[in-house]
């Protein structure tokens, strides 16, 4: 059975592994490297986060590992649970189970994450993208109100983009559109610049009306900051099917 891997931040519990009984000898940075090396053999990882045990527990660490693929997470859990991996004592690995009452909205992946995911599944040279249309919509309201006595201030930066993703090996392509918007005052406070890439071609489409957008994949309007942020780990939202995850108390 095929698995659908969306271009979104993985928040599902069946893509999240909880790893504990990690040794207290190595540093958190060394454990992060060891965990990434061990678990990335089973699939592309979104994140590996290492945390110290609670003060009431024995010294050591535990980790939260997120896969893009639920199938890869299951394989990793079965292969790594109660194995020594990179330390002398075995570790315990369980799939996280999220409480049904807790729901979090999925965030879209930023550009670099999308390219990483596409490279993993399609190969570095297995896909390409082409910008069909890139247009700034920030000043549309000003132009529509040129005859007005009081000009409207420019409140935000807004861009429209239509692009096409192509898979040559499968002889298929997928067009899509998206909008992004951010208040001007917030953008000016950022220490950086907004950069876009535009590759002109003979078949550029001037998208101006809804009829011309028919059949395109539509992406909802989102702020710039969403694409640079990482998702927060809601550790309290996860539990394990076995109570043994509870760290032992010090005597």
Which ranges of the chain does DSSP label H, i.e. alpha helix?
Answer: 28-39, 70-80, 111-122, 140-144, 184-189
Contacts of 186 (CB under 8 A, 6+ apart): 225
Question: Please, which pLDDT band fits residue 143 given cuts at 50, 70 and 90?
Answer: low
**Domain presence at residue 56:** yes
Contacts of 88 (CB under 8 A, 6+ apart): 23
Q: What tokens appear for 44 in the block? A: 């592309």
**Domain presence at residue 210:** no
What is the pTM for the complete model shown?
0.69
Q: Based on the fold, state whether residues 65 and 86 are members of the same structural domain.
A: yes
The percent of residues above 90 in pLDDT, for the chain, comes to 41
**Domain presence at residue 8:** no
The CATH number of whichever domain residue 25 belongs to comes to 3.30.70.330
Range of the domain at 24: 13-105+232-245
Q: Based on the fold, state whether residues 95 and 134 are members of the same structural domain.
A: no
Average predicted confidence (pLDDT) for the chain: 75
Stronger pLDDT, 174 or 209, i.e. the higher one: 174
**Domain presence at residue 250:** no
Q: Based on the fold, state whether residues 116 and 221 are members of the same structural domain.
A: yes
Q: Based on the fold, state whether residues 97 and 117 are members of the same structural domain.
A: no
For 11-45, the pLDDT digits (tens) are 899 999 999 999 988 999 999 999 999 999 999 99
Q: Based on the fold, state whether residues 141 and 162 are members of the same structural domain.
A: yes
Q: What tokens appear for 232 in the block? A: 């927060």
Q: Based on the fold, state whether residues 49 and 141 are members of the same structural domain.
A: no
Q: Based on the fold, state whether residues 115 and 158 are members of the same structural domain.
A: yes
Q: Based on the fold, state whether residues 83 and 150 are members of the same structural domain.
A: no
**Domain presence at residue 118:** yes
Is residue 251 predicted with pLDDT exceeding 90?
no
pLDDT of residue 2: 83
Q: Position of tokens 């893509």?
A: 15
For 55-71, the pLDDT digits (tens) are 777 889 999 999 999 99
pLDDT of residue 89: 93
The percent of residues above 70 in pLDDT, for the chain, comes to 63
For 79-115, the pLDDT digits (tens) are 999 999 999 999 999 998 765 545 667 788 888 999 9
For 194-230, the pLDDT digits (tens) are 444 444 443 434 444 445 445 555 454 555 555 444 4
Stronger pLDDT, 136 or 19, i.e. the higher one: 19
Q: Based on the fold, state whether residues 161 and 182 are members of the same structural domain.
A: yes
For 45-55, the pLDDT digits (tens) are 999 999 999 87
Q: Based on the fold, state whether residues 116 and 49 are members of the same structural domain.
A: no
Question: Please, which pLDDT band fits residue 136 given cuts at 50, 70 and 90?
Answer: confident
The sign of the dihedral angle between the CA atoms of 54, 57, 60, 64 is negative
How many structural domains compose the chain?
A: 2
């Amino acid at each position: 059975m095929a698995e659908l891997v969306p271009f979104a931040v993985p928040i599902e519990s069946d893509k999240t592994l909880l790893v504990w009984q990690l040794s207290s000898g190595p540093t958190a940075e060394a454990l992060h490297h060891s965990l990434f090396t061990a678990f990335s053999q089973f699939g592309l990882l979104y994140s590996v986060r290492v945390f110290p045990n609670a003060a009431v527990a024995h010294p050591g660490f535990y980790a939260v590992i997120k896969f893009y693929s639920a199938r890869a997470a299951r394989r990793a859990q079965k292969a790594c649970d109660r194995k020594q991996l990179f330390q002398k004592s075995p570790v315990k690995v369980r799939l996280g189970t999220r409480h049904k009452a807790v729901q979090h909205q999925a965030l879209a992946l930023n550009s670099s994450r999308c390219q990483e995911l596409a490279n993993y599944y399609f190969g570095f040279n297995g896909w390409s993208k082409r910008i069909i249309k890139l247009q700034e919509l920030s000043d549309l309201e000003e132009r529509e109100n040129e005859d007005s006595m009081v000009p409207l201030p420019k409140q935000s930066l807004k861009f429209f983009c239509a692009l096409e993703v192509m898979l040559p090996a499968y002889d298929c392509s997928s067009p899509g559109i998206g909008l992004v918007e951010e208040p001007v005052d917030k953008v000016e406070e950022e220490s950086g610049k907004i950069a876009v890439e535009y590759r002109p071609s003979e078949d550029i489409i001037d998208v101006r009306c809804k009829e011309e957008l028919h059949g395109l994949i539509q992406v909802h309007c989102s702020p710039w900051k969403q694409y640079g942020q990482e998702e927060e780990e809601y550790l309290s939202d996860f539990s394990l099917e076995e109570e043994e995850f509870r760290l032992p108390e010090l005597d």
